[in-house]
Structure 1
Amino acid sequence: MERFNLSNNKGFTLTEMIVTIVIIGILLSILVPGLFKYIEKAKDKQFMVNARYAYIAVQDNLLEAFGSSNIVTFIEVIADYQSKGAAGLTASDIEGIPETGKVIMDIKAMNDIGLTGNSIDENTGEILALEYREGNKYIQYVKAKGWTNVAVSP
């Protein structure tokens, strides 16, 4: 009768474990930076969505005032928006602006981005330019050019 020789191998050798850990480390060092870039891109996309929501909220409010039969009310709304200066319009001013953001429409800011004159067309009630900010990030909209890329304040 032959005896079955059972080997005493019950797991990985130390060398196999070290090689496995090194391979996992190499894979992580390749994947982790890409993951952080992906997360940053997702945050920028969410920022753009917030900016567009704010644009829609402000435009809706402007068109409501423009549609009223009282042109004085519309002119007052424009003056109010532009008088906010760097403080900008916030969620407490207009429903629909994200809580963490603000919309800047003052004339000085518009001149800084190359728009001369008004940020709102008084004849149509359309937004010509605005800047949306959340913390140190901002994005600008100019009707003729569209949205800029998300940027960080210095």
Structure 2
Amino acid sequence: MFEKIRKMKNKKGFTLVELIVVLVIMAILAALLVPALTGYIDRARKEAIVAETRSCVMAAQTIAAEKYGANAADVANDAMMAAVDDIKKLAEVDGAISNITMKKADGSDYAGKVSTLSYTKGAWTCTYTEGVTTGSNGAYDVKPKT
């Protein structure tokens, strides 16, 4: 009888109770971490779409400057909407660009500066609006796609 007890003491491994305790602890940690991680993921996606919108605004401004320099005339909003494919290629993005409006630096209607631009990718839409105050870089508003 003592030999059987000695043999059982020499066996190495985990008991079923120990394994269940470890699994319960891991489940509790996962339940605490998943909501926190999804918040970080959403925030990262929003920051990524803002960065892509900035690229689109810079590309649109570049194309508007090229058009203005070549024609020495106003660049109409329609002309910018016709150049959406060129803007996407220059900005190296694959989302949808819409609502491009142009304004003069003094605020009057005419194309010289990108006033607004909307960029949609996946479940998010980011809208750039030119800054209201002098020297402002503009605002980027991220909302779920509607």
| Structure 2 residue corresponding to 1:151, chosen from 138, 143, 146 | 143
Residue 100 (str. 1) matches residue 101 (str. 2): no
DSSP-derived class of the 1:67 partner: helix
Structure with the higher fraction of residues in strand conformation: 2
DSSP-derived class of the 1:38 partner: helix
**Larger fraction in helix:** 2
Residue matched to 1:112: none
Unaligned runs of 5+ in 1: 107-118
Question: Do the aligned partners of 1:137 and 1:152 also contact (CA within 8 Å) in 2?
Answer: yes
Please give the alpha-carbon distance, in whole angstroms, between the structure 1 residues aligned to 2:77 and 2:140: 25
1:8-87 → structure 2 map (5 Å cutoff): 8-68=10-70, 70-72=71-73, 75=74, 77-81=75-79, 84=81
Provide the TM-score with structure 2 as the length reference.
Answer: 0.72
Equivalence for 1:110? none
What is the CA deviation profile of residues 84-133 of structure 1, one whole-angstrom value per residue up to 9, with x for unaligned ones?
4xxx853x243324122313225xxxxxxxxxxxx322677111222222
Structure 1-normalised TM-score?
A: 0.69
Equivalent pairs counted in the alignment come to: 130
1: CA distance, partners of 2:21 / 2:61: 60
Tell me the secondary structure at the aligned position of residue 10 of structure 1. Answer: coil
Aligned to 1:148, what secondary structure does the other structure show?
strand
Which runs of no fewer than 5 residues in structure 2 stay unpaired?
A: 1-5, 133-137
Q: Equivalents in 1 of 2:111, 2:21: separation in Å?
A: 69
Amino acid at match of 2:142: V
Quote the Cα distance in structure 1 between the aligned partners of 2:117 and 2:49. Answer: 15
User: SS of the residue aligned with 2:114?
Assistant: coil
Distance 2:94 2:65 in 1: 22
